[in-house]
A and B are shown apart, each in its own frame.
Chain A
Amino acid sequence: MLAVAPWIIDGAPYESTMGLVQKIFYFHMPSAWLFLIAALVAGVASARFLFGRAPSADYWAVAAAEMAVVFGIITLVTGPLWARKAWGLWWVWDARLTSSLILWLIFVAYLLLRRFGGPGSDKLGAGMALFGLVNVPFIFVSVNVWRTLHPQTSVVPTLPVEMGAPLWFCLTAFLLLFLALMSMRAGLARQRARIEALYLSEEEA
């Protein structure tokens, strides 16, 4: 689906004021949604890990945190490339952009903590992911509450079919990729936990 996406996007009509550069939207918006979904999944899984004592939830939290960093960097780079032409600026420090950057930095810090934090970093990381979770609704409503150059959330439902169909196609493609990568990453975390347990049992023997 991702391989076909450029041809489908190429067939979509040009937006009247922005022209060609608006086509960045077809990759920018799906990645932005998945960035927020990944942060939600990481936060909920971390809450389950912290309060429900479910070790498997931690595997999903790590996987979702990595997805948040991957789709977050796509969002934060494609957005300014579009904004440079549409707004005349690479970046504005408004509520949407700033809070999105903070969310991305939270998950970068989460992954660094999990990589280099040593024992106990799983619980500390879970606390950080909860902070990320709290940020998600703020990011979503920020464009409707504060004055900003960023389009509001009401734009997507009002798109004409010729522009809506490529968008939903790209969103489906990104979502399937997201689910596949996240389940693979969670499987890797499970496998690593098993390796660690085997090493420990070997040392004890």
Chain B
Amino acid sequence: MTRHALPLLLFGLLAFGPREANAQPQPSADEFVPVAEAPPGEQIPAINLVGAAYGFVWVVLVGYVWTLGRRMSQAERDLAELERRRS
């Protein structure tokens, strides 16, 4: 009895499984959906993206200039202190 059960199960899966899967397609998580067809709630206005991009550029550049300035003034202070000790 059990000797015939496995082949029958495999036959059943092969014969009816794909049909069942085709009958109810599952939406893929990474399926491509064009932005124009996306629900209105998921569409981001271009002005927000452009604003975020330009804002980010300014924040990074100003932040980097500020950290560089701080490190340079710290190095100058250290150098002045060392030279004062040596003289």
Contacts and interface: CB of A to CB of B under 8 A. Distances in A.
Nearest to A180: B65
B61 A177 contact: yes
A111 to B, nearest CB: 12
Contacts, number: 83
Interface string A13-28: 0000001110110011
Contact of A28 (B44, B53, B72, B86): B53
Interface residues of A, number: 35
Interface string B76-87: 101100110110
Interface of B: 32-35, 38, 44, 46-47, 49-50, 52-54, 56-57, 60-61, 64-65, 68, 71-72, 75-76, 78-79, 82-83, 85-86
Given A77-B53, A185-B68, 14 more contacts: A21-B46, A24-B49, A27-B54, A28-B53, A88-B33, A88-B38, A177-B61, A181-B64, A181-B68, A195-B78, A198-B86, A202-B82, A202-B85, A202-B86
Interface of A: 2, 6, 19-21, 23-24, 27-28, 31, 70, 73-74, 77-78, 81-82, 84-85, 87-89, 177, 181, 184-185, 187-188, 191-192, 194-195, 198-199, 202
